[in-house]
Structure 1
């Protein structure tokens, strides 16, 4: 049995010999490239290829250290070109910093595994952390560079590395969350990039820190609300909309979305409550007044709805929606009477409602010609009940065209 074990061990060692020889050869070649003062990219490729084809290299600190050195040399050469105002690929320059972070974090993990995490015995942490801390701004500006180019998938990689460094053992003691004033801004751009990628989880992950960027708090809340909507988390979605409305009542996102949600779900009382709360902030706001008129219309409080809409028209007679609201108020009352038990007794009153609705719906058609789905059925009914043959035929043709 002992002989069999020794044989198995011997065969295992024999299998490693070619791998070790290959590693030694590649490391030697990479070292030669670096000593030559050029072909640093070739040295890097040797190491990445080695890591890809030989799994035993994944715990070899020499390979990662050579990889780190080759990328660092590329960074230094690129930095010199930029300093001398020579042409260099900006994205590639920022990418070098990102790779240095990734390599150093992997090397630190190997270092910890080898030395049991005892700080005095870690060989690379202090030096690498100090160096990368100096290069840290490149992660932020690399991220914003990619945002500007619309490369959100790349952008979020930079911002995540920037933000997550605070949790990396490599940067123990740097306390970025409390000492780096740029963290909230980086978090906001991470949220923004994740939003652009429809990644709800990452939006919500970085939003708490992004909220500290007070210049963009409204936008952070907007992205958070959208993320919750993607997740179909109605309670969180509404809570975020409400927070946004309370903090930014006249922002063009929060109030309209609250109104759309409650109106779309038939909760007209809640829609009215938000409209009234909004009017307490700004009684002259046209959107708030129109929202109240619409809510009153949906609650069948027609006279109140008409009064608000008439005031809106008096203030601005080119705004389409108040005309539609008034026309709908009269049409709804006509329809209610038509379907009631005393429809025959109310024929005159019903006709009066259609007559009243007509000029408002015609005005709405003129001011909002593209809203055919709204004004065409209304005018169809009006012309039909007022026996307006020519106008009826025109609308009938439009609806079936």
Structure 2
């Protein structure tokens, strides 16, 4: 009987599916704490503790969301929106005339307040007002802009840009080859193989990178384990920074609505109000913990839909095992040190293919809507303006008040806000 249960729960399919989830979650997690630590110029020791905390709490957040939250296999990871805001604030510290710890402390205060309010909204059911703000059209705008933002990040990351800003041609050629290889696996290979195209791509790409570019893989950090509270700076009362972080933290809630709705559609279901409420609570809870350790707050990843569509594996069991493995890695420094040596160009190249599916999710969210020369403004204006801002250097906005710069330079925030305004001030039914 014991052997039967072991075979039931730990089949080869579950094992490889779990490993694929592990690498997917890891590839979406590892670069975030490292980049934030670099932007705020924290010590290597503090960066290591941020990385360990990130792996541990990301794994736990995934498990609790899939178990008691929205109950879908959705990566609960560091918010791309808030990641961009934090990086922008850290990299513009000198122009803001503030120290890293002052900005980091203000960010911590704002995110703690936003996380606390998110939990209160979930407990008292106030989250029901959010769908009135983030309407289906706003969610469509969000999905398109998120797709463009992520694809640009992965594309730039897979090129292997040198310190002087030039492209590393050999590394870039390997990345392009990986994109083609993983795409062919997904499209042409039998389903039994195509379902693991992400895992196969990462393993094959990692091996090829080590063989072709010996000595160029990231160095493994020292195998030490420790946690440090508020490594970016202790909470303070820098009102401007607090306001930016707090507002971005609340805007981040739109991602939960888009993600859970998309996951429900993929499963052929309709998301219930209780699923949203539970998801908001756990997002707020783990975001509060993240703020204590200088991490980017959490959110369900809409981009996971592309991963699920690529692998066609919708079961929760491999997702739970993948999250548990990640949490264990966060507690075992030697494992963390080994996985940190994965070349990020390989991870970015494979994720570039995985997230191509997200564009289809955004397109499908239109539900066959038709536009004329008037109604096209509700979609084209926020999306194209957001894309334009994404491709504009933040230095262009240096003449604006310093507290406005993080907002204006973020195309995703501005695009979503503009969409909300357009949907509230215009009755588009009159123009059909």
The TM-score normalised by the length of structure 1 is 0.21
The structure whose RCO (Cα within 8 Å, separation 6+) is larger is 2
Largest Rg, 1 or 2: 1
The TM-score normalised by the length of structure 2 is 0.20
When you count helix as a share of all residues, which structure comes out higher?
A: 1
